[in-house]
Every structure is written in C-alpha cells, then in structure tokens.
Amino acid sequence: MQGPFSTRRGAGLYLLAWLLLAIVFAGLIVAATGAAWTNGLLFAVPVTLVYACATGFSSYYLCRAYPLGERSAISVLLVFFVASLFAGLLWTMLCAGWNSACESLGLLWAGVPMTAPLQAMIVGLGVILYAMAAVAHYLALEFQRARAAERRGLEAALMAQDAELRMLRTQIDPHFLFNSLNSISALTSIDPARARDMTLRLADFFRHSLGLEANRKVTLEAEVTLVMHFIAIEKVRFGARLNVEQAIDAGALDCLLPPMILQPLVENAVKHGIANLTGGGTIRIAAQRAGSVLKIVVENDIDDDPPVAGKGIGLANVRQRLAVAYGHEAGIHWTREARLFRVALSLPALTKELEPSCAS
C-alpha cells in the first residue's frame, strides 16, 4: 500500500496528527455554536478521521501525478485549488449527513446546529487541510527523491572506486610478470635448471595471488606470506645475494590492507637495489600497530650512485591504491640515504572485526 498508510508507523503518526486536528475542529465548533464539548467531539472526531483517509490518498496520488519539477506552477496550483475546494464541499456534506443521521437516530446529544456560518467554516477548513496534506506529501516525496538520488550517487561512487581499484590492481600483475619473464629468459641460457625452478615458483605465486580480489582486504600476515613467495622466486636468480629480515609486531599481523600492496615495493627493492649490488644486500620489512594506525616500512640496501630513474610504476600504483581505498587516512613516503632506500606506509589499523563498519 502506498501513500500515508504505506507503513504502520506512518499510518499511526498520520492519524494521530489528524486526531489533534479533530480536537481543534471540535473547539471551533464549540466556539461557533455554543454546543457542549461532548457534542463537539462526537461530531468532529469521526468525520475528521474519515476526511483524513480520503484526503490522504487523494492528495498523495495528485502529488504523484503532478510532480513539481515536471509541471508548471500554474497547472499545479489550479489542480489543487479545484481538488481542495471539491474536497471541502464533500466534507461539509459528510458533516451534514453525519449530523442528520445522529438526529434521526435520536442521538440528539451528538448533534450540533448546522448554521450557514458553520458550514462555510467547514468548507474553508476542508480546503486548508487538503492543501496542508498536499504540501506534506510533496515534502515527503521530495525527501524520498533526495534520498534515492543520494543512494544512487553513493552506489555510483562505490562502483567507480571498485573499478579504479581493479584497474590499479591489474597494473601490478603484468608489471611483475614482465620483470619475472625477463629474469627467466636471462637464466634460460646460463642455468636452465634454475630457470625451470623459477618458472614453477612463479606459477605457484600467481596461483596464490589470483584468488585475491582488488576490492577485498587481506591480513598483513597473509600479505607477508605472499611477499615471501615472491622473494623465493627472486632467490632462485640471486641466491645468497638476496637476504630478507622481518620485524613485524604480533599485534599488526591481523590488520587488514589491500592485497599485493607490499609486493611492488619489495619488487622495486630487488630490481633497483639488490640487483645493482655486486655483493648483494638485504631487504628489511617492519610493521607495527600504533593505536589506530598501521605503520609499515620496507627498506633495502642500494648502491652509492643513484640508479637511472624509471617510470615509477610500483610506487605510483601503491600511492593511488592507498588514496582510493583510504583517502587522506593513508599515505606513503620514501627517502634515500647514503646506502639505504626506505618506503614508509601509514594506513588505518582495521581488523576483521572492524571491517564491516569501517571498510572503505
């Protein structure tokens, strides 16, 4: 059911408002005719509640048929003027019929003198109440439209955010795959066994990563496990030249973060750091939870000479993904020291328990 009785709560509030109007109407009758309050209430309450139901549905469907933004103001005013005048006349006839019925049944205690001034007052009051009902319905319909537009806007924003996250995520896999295939190609001619081992590890890495959705978050523990799969691939090529150190607090392991957010950082550390060092070097991964903030640091040894600047796909991708997922609540900063390159991430420390209410 639509209109004022679409919900029980709405119907209750609507009838309560009209009951208060019926008491006011009874007071006007008492003041105009000198009738007793009992007579005024027994006369006004039934006819007012009947008029409330008829007016509610009539004005509601007229408001739906004549939306403010699609019809001219003159046509809307003319339609509602005629409708309210017609409703006021019908209500006056209803009041007169109810009064006559009470008198014919011998219920003289419920009747009131139906004078000409009283009838004119009922017509005018009926017109005003009908107009008030129409205004209330217009306000309710506009509120519903505003909420629907807001909901559509939020849905569109979420869909756009999801699409952007997926687009950014899809940049990672080809970038990583391209670098890995280059490494396998280089090993094929000098060490076929290691090239085969690296191929198998690469397949294992992608088997684990393909199940991760771009708009879903994983725990830091799962993300570090995936990073170690990547390290295992690279160790086939670098051997003892590639070392990894971890300093991850136990309280940070359950924190959630976008999947494969650390892999491009570690990949950069290998490609632009360890690969340029003759004696190899170390990649250090540290994480700690500081209140509501998760702090992650990835640093690696580098050569004294600055490397040739690349396109910066990894760092730019991570920055964009954090911005889309968390807005201004997350950030990434990198610094270069004498023989060290450090990337620091800060993002909200969300856990599985907080994800439904805080997910971005």
121 within domain boundaries: yes
CA 253 to chain centre: 28
Question: For 77-97, what is the mean pLDDT?
Answer: 89
Query: For residue 257, what are the domain limits?
Result: 191-358
Residues 122 and 237 in one domain: no
Please tell me the total count of domains within the chain. 2
Any domain includes 170: no
Q: Is residue 15 part of a domain?
A: yes
Residues 201 and 325 in one domain: yes
Give the pLDDT confidence score for residue 1 in this predicted structure.
43
pLDDT band at 357 (very low <50, low <70, confident <90, very high): very low
Instruction: Please check whether residue 91 lies inside any domain of the structure.
Output: yes
Which of the two residues, 165 and 117, has the higher pLDDT score?
A: 117
With respect to residue 238, please indicate whether it lies within any of the assigned structural domains: yes
Query: 3-state SS string over the chain?
Result: CCHHHCCHHHHHHHHHHHHHHHHHHHHHHHHHHCCCHHHHHHHHHHHHHHHHHHHHHHHHHHHHHCCCCCCCHHHHHHHHHHHHHHHHHHHHHHHHHHHHHHHHCCCHHHCCCCCHHHHHHHHHHHHHHHHHHHHHHHHHHHHHHHHHHHHHHHHHHHHHHHHHHHHHHHHHHHHHHHHHHHHHHHHHHHCHHHHHHHHHHHHHHHHHHCCCCCCCCEEHHHHHHHHHHHHHHHHHHHHHHEEEEEEECHHHCCCEECCCCCHHHHHHHHHHCHHHCCCCEEEEEEEEEECCEEEEEEEEECCCCCCCCCCCHHHHHHHHHHHHHHHHHCEEEEEECCCEEEEEEEEECCCCCCHHHHCC
Report residue 346's pLDDT band, with 50, 70 and 90 as the boundaries. very high
Q: Determine, yes or no, domain membership for 132.
A: yes
Instruction: Pick the last residue of a domain from 151, 175, 210.
Output: 151
Q: Is residue 180 part of a domain?
A: no
Query: Are 110 and 200 in the same domain?
Result: no
Of the pLDDT bands very low, low, confident and very high (cuts 50, 70, 90), residue 44 is: confident
pLDDT of residue 198 exceeding 70, the answer is yes
pLDDT per residue as tens digits for the range 270-312 = 888 898 898 889 999 999 999 899 999 999 999 876 554 444 5
- Cα–Cα–Cα angle for 161, 164, 167, rounded to 5 degrees: 155
Let me know whether 265 and 347 are in one domain. Answer: yes
Share of the chain above pLDDT 90, in %: 18
Q: Residue 248's pLDDT band (boundaries 50, 70, 90)?
A: very high
Categorize the per-residue pLDDT at 253 as very low, low, confident or very high, splitting at 50, 70 and 90: very high
* 352 confidence band (pLDDT: 50, 70, 90): confident
Say which residue, 340 or 35, is predicted with more confidence.
340
350 and 211 fall within a common domain = yes
pLDDT tens column, 315-339: 887 888 888 888 889 999 999 888 8
88 pLDDT above the threshold of 70: yes
Mean pLDDT value of segment 150-171:
65
Q: Is the same domain home to 21 and 125?
A: yes
Taking alpha carbons only, the member of 122, 143, 110, 132 closest to residue 35 is 110
| Residues 93, 36 share a domain | yes
User: Chain-wide mean pLDDT for the chain?
Assistant: 81
Asked if 88 and 217 sit in the same domain, the reply is no
What CATH number has the domain bearing residue 323? 3.30.565.10
195 and 144 within one domain: no
Look at residue 164 and tell me if it is in a domain.
Answer: no
203 and 329 in a common domain? yes
Let me know whether 335 and 199 are in one domain: yes
Identify the domain boundary among 98, 124, 151: 151
